[in-house]
Chains A and B, each alone.
Chain A
Amino acid sequence: MRKKVFLASMLAALSSAAPTFSTPAAADEGQTFRMIVQEPRFMDPNLVDDGGVAIQTQLFEPLAKIQNDGTLVYLQANSIERSSDGLTWTVKLKPENKWSNGEPVTAMDWEYSLKRILDPSIASGNAQFLTEIKGAKAYNSGETKDASAVHIKAVDDFTLVIETERVAPSFLAKLALPYITPVPQAVVAQWGERWTLPEHIVSNGPYKLVARVNDQSIEMNVNSFYAGKKPTIDTIRMTVASGDICEAQLRAYEAEEIDFATCIPIQDIQRVRQDATLAKELITNLDSGTWWVQYDNSHAPWDNKDVRHALSLAIDRNALSSVISDGTAAVANTIVPPGIPGANEDDAIKGNVETARELLAKAGYPNGAGFPPFTLTVRDSASQPIVAQLLQQMWSENLGINATINVMELKAFAAWVNARKNAPYDMITALWVSDYADPENWYGDLITDDYRNSHFRNEDFASLIKQAKVATDETQRIETYRQANKIFEEQQPMSALYRETSLWLVKPYVKNLRPDTTLRLYPIRDTEIVR
C-alpha cells in the first residue's frame, strides 16, 4: 500500500510538471510563424533599450519609422510638424488608433508614456533619446521631481505638443525610434509592474501578447483593433533560448521546427554558405554598426598619434573578417558606417605594414624596442577572444610589440568599461550599432559624449560637432559632420576593424520578411506564409 501511495505521488508530481510548460493551444500551423528568441530583459516597451526591441515592435508601434532608404513613414502619427523657430513639435495622432482592449490610444497616453520614460525611478535607458525636451534633463537626473516641468503636453485627445530646449535637428529621428512607444496609462496604473503579464497587457501594435512562460515561450495573436495594415500571419510563436541562441536556431531551422533564424554560429557559416539548400535561404544584410579597437588616448604611448596610426596600419582586416565570419563581415577602415551622413571611407588613413613600422620608429620604438607591455581587454563573446588573438599575433609579427589579452565576462566587461571614465587602461575592442540613421548618434552620443571612455579630446572636432548639433540648414549640417569625420579619422583615437553582416535564414514559403531600419527589425506584420 505504502508503495502504491509513493508511486501515485511521484506520478502526480511528474505529471504536474508537464502541463506547466506544455505548448499553448495549437493554432493552424499555416498561419503560425515560429522562431527562437532570447529571453527579453523587459516586456515593458518603455524599458526595452536593447535587441529585445525586435520582439517589442510586433506588439507596440511608434509614431513613425525611418525606412532603409531614409524616408519617413508615419505609423501612429498622422503628422509631425516642427515650428518655424525649430523648437516646438506638434504631433497629430491617428484617431482610429486603438489599444488591443478596444480603447483609443490618446495623446494623454503618449504624454504619460514619454514622461514615464524620463522618470528616473523606472530607470529607462531610453530616457537618453528624450533629453533634448525642455525640462527633461532636470527631471531625469532627479533635480526636480515635478513631471509637469517637462514640456510634453496633450492639448487635446489626439494632439501632442513637445518643446525642445534648443534647435534639435535629429529629434524627429529619435521620435521615430521603435524604443519610443506608448503604454496604456490606465492599465499600468491598475497593475503596476505586473501590467506586462499576458493576462493584463494591452498593446497598440499589430499583435497582442496572449501567452508567456518566462524563459520558455512567448505567443502573440493578431490585435483585432489594430488600425494599420492587418497582418496575414495569425500567430507568432517564439521559443526562448539561453546560451548560444545561434546554435539553437540553426539546429531547429534544419529540423524544420522554426521558419526563421536570425543568426548563424561562426563555425557553421562556411557550411551554410556551401549547402545548396541553405545558401538559397540565406539573407545577408550589412549592419549599421562597427567593431573597433580603442586606445586610452589620455596617456602614453597611446596619446601619440603615430603609435595609433602604426597599430591601425599593421592590422590585416581581411584576415579578421575571414576568420570570424568566413568573410561575410565587411572590412571597416573608418568608424562611422556608410549610410550615416558625414561618413566618408576616403578619410581612412593610408599606408601599409611598412608605413606602420616607420611610424612606430618615428614614435621612438624602432622594431617595437622599448614599447611598454600592454593589455588588450575584450568581452567574452563568440568573436572577440578570437579577434584579440589575431590582433596580438599581427602586432607581434608586424611591429614586434606584445599584447597581453584579458577576456572578461560580458557584464563584468560592461561594468569595467563604464568605470574607465577617469581610470587609465590600454585598449579594448568595442562596438556601436546605429540607433537611428543620424550623424548625431555617432559623432554626438558615441564620440563626444564618450560612452566608451576613449578619453579622446580634440578642440577642432568638438567645435565642429557643437556647430552641427544646432545647425538648421541640413546641407551645412552634413558638411560640418564631414569635416569632423576627417579630423576624427586623422586623429585615429579608435581604429575600425569590421562591420558585421546579419545572416538570416528564411524558409522559402515565408515571404516579405526583410531587415527593417538600422536596427535590423523583422516586422512580421508585413510577412506572409505562402505554402
Chain B
Amino acid sequence: MFSFILKRVLASIPTLLVVYTVTFAIAHLTPGSPWDSASANRPMEPAAKAALDAKYNLDAPLHIQYVGYLWGAVQGDLGPSFRDPTQSVTDIVKKFLPTSLALGSMAIALAIVMGLLLGVLAALTRSRALETAILFFCTFCVSLPTYIITAVLIVTLGVGLGLVPTFGWKGLFSTSAIVPVVSLALAPMAAIARYCRNCVLEVMHKDFVRSARAKGVKRGRIIAVHILRNAIIPVVTVAGSYASSVLVGSFFVESIAGVPGFGRYFVLAVSARDYPVIIATTLVYAVIVVLCNLLVDIAHFIIDPRTREDVR
C-alpha cells in the first residue's frame, strides 16, 4: 500500500511540472500586462511601468522568470501578489482556499448522501412514477448550469422569501451557505444518483445476490452488504472526479453568491494578470486533482479486494 502511494506521488511530479509550464506560458502570452488598467482614464507612464517591471522582476528574460519562480515555489515562496502588494500569494492561498474546501466538502458530502439515497430508491422502488420522477430530477440537475441554479435560488429564497441573504458570506454554518452548497451539490448528486441506480440494477441480478436471497438473508442486509458494497465502486470514481472540481470552488457560484473563495479569486487573478497568483492557484488546483485521484484509488483499494491483488 505504501509503495503504491509513493509511486503515485512520484508520478505526479512530472504532471505538476507540465501544469506549471503550460500555465506560465499561457499567463505570459495572454494580451495585457498586470499594469494595464481597464478602468483608469489614462495609460500608465512608461517610466512607472518600467519601475514596476523591475520591482517584480518582469524585466528579466522569460526563462529566468520561469526558473526563478519555480525555485521559489519549491522552497515554499509563491511570490508577491501584483493585484494586492500587501499580501503574499501564500497569504492568499491560506485565506481563500479553506473557504472553498469547507464549502466544497459540505457540497460533496451532501451530493454523496443524497445521490446514494436517490439512486438506491430509483433502483429498488416498485413505483414506475417515482423512478421516472427521480430520473427526471437528476437529468434536470445535471443539465442546468450552476450559475442559473445559483441565480434562481437567490431570487426565490433570498429576494422572494427572505430566507437567505442575497449576497455575502457569514461562514459555513449560516444561512449564507445554503445557496452555494446546494448549487454546488446538485450536479454531482444527480450524477452519483444515476450511476448508483444503474450499478444497483446491475448488481441486483448477479448470482451472489440471488444466492443470498435463496439462503433467506434479510432484504435490508442484502441491500447494504451485498448490493451497495459492490455498486459503490463506480460511484466512488464519479464522486472523486466531481470532488476535485467542487473542492477548489466555482467562480460562478462564488461570484454570484458572494463567497470569498478560491475559485472566485482565481478568475479575479486572471482578469488582473496577477501572474504569481494565477500560477499558484493553478498548481494548488492540480495538487487537489492529484490528491482526489489518489484518494479514489485508495478507496478502491479498501472497497474492492480485486484491486489489492493488482497492486501486489
> Quick check: is A13 within 8 A (CB to CB) of the other chain?
yes
Q: How far is the CB of B289 from chain A (nearest CB, A)?
A: 20
Q: Does A19 contact B (CB under 8 A)?
A: yes
Q: Kindly state whether residue A21 has any CB partner on chain B within 8 Å.
A: yes
Contact of B38 among A215, A239, A240, A413 (CB under 8 A): A413
The reply to whether the CB of B39 lies closer than 8 angstroms to some CB of chain A is yes
Could you say which residues of chain B place their CB within 8 Å of the CB of A406? none
Measured between beta carbons, the chain B residues less than 8 angstroms from A404 are none
The yes or no answer to A353 lying at the interface (CB within 8 A) is no
> Is A173 an interface position by the 8 A CB rule?
no
Which of B82-90, B131-139, B223-231 lies at the interface?
B82-90
Residue pair B155, A251 in contact (C-beta under 8 Å)? yes
Chain B contacts for A123, CB-based, 8 A: 35, 44-45, 48-49, 51-52
Chain B residues within an 8 Å CB radius of A374: none
Instruction: Indicate whether B145 reaches chain A with its CB closer than 8 angstroms.
Output: no
Cα separation A16 to B169 with both chains bound (whole Å): 14
Q: Is A355 in the interface zone, CB < 8 Å from B?
A: no
Looking at chain A's contact residues, is the secondary structure mostly helix, strand, loop, or mixed? mixed
Mask, A35-51, CB within 8 Å of B = 1, is 01001010100000111
- Per the bound structure, the CA–CA distance linking A410 and B272 in Å amounts to 10
What are the residues of chain B within 8 A of A422 when measuring CB–CB?
A: none
Contact flags (1/0) for A225-243 with B, using CB distance below 8 Å?
Answer: 0000000000000011111
Interface bits A400-419 vs B (CB < 8 Å: 1, else 0): 00000000111111111010
Query: Are the C-beta atoms of A39 and B268 separated by less than 8 Å?
Result: yes
CA distance A339 to B30 in the complex (A): 40
Q: Check if A141 sits within 8 Å of B45, measured CB to CB.
A: yes
For A215, give its contact among B35, B85, B106, B264 (CB under 8 Å): B264
Whether B49 pairs with A215 at a CB distance below 8 angstroms is no
How many residues of chain A have a CB within 8 Å of chain B? 66
Check A193 for interface membership: any CB of B closer than 8 A: yes
Chain B contacts for A248, CB-based, 8 A? 166-167, 256, 258
- Say if the beta carbon of A254 comes within 8 Å of chain B: yes
A189 to B39, CA, bound (A): 29
Contact with B along A126-149 (1 / 0, CB 8 A): 011000000000001110000000
Known: A15-B173, A20-B99. A127 touches B48 (CB 8 A): yes
In Å, the complex CA distance between A49 and B271 comes to 18
Asked, given contacts A14-B106, A243-B256, A251-B166, whether A451 binds B42 with beta carbons under 8 Å apart, the answer is yes
B141-164 CB mask vs A (1 if < 8 Å, else 0) is 000000000000011001100100
Query: Do residues A128 and B42 form an inter-chain contact, with CB atoms below 8 A?
Result: yes
Q: Mark B39-59, 1 if CB is under 8 A from A, else 0.
A: 111111111111110010000
Asked whether any CB of chain B lies closer than 8 Å to the CB of A216, the reply is yes
Q: Is B102 on the interface with A (CB-CB < 8 A)?
A: yes
CA distance A418 to B87 in the complex (A): 29
A215 pairs with B260, CB closer than 8 A: yes
Between A and B, 16 residue pairs with Cβ closer than 8 Å are A18-B174, A21-B170, A23-B170, A41-B39, A49-B37, A140-B47, A197-B86, A214-B260, A216-B260, A242-B255, A248-B258, A251-B166, A254-B159, A411-B36, A411-B272, A411-B273
Closest 9 CB pairs of A and B: A18-B171, A123-B48, A411-B32, A410-B38, A243-B255, A17-B102, A415-B32, A412-B31, A50-B39
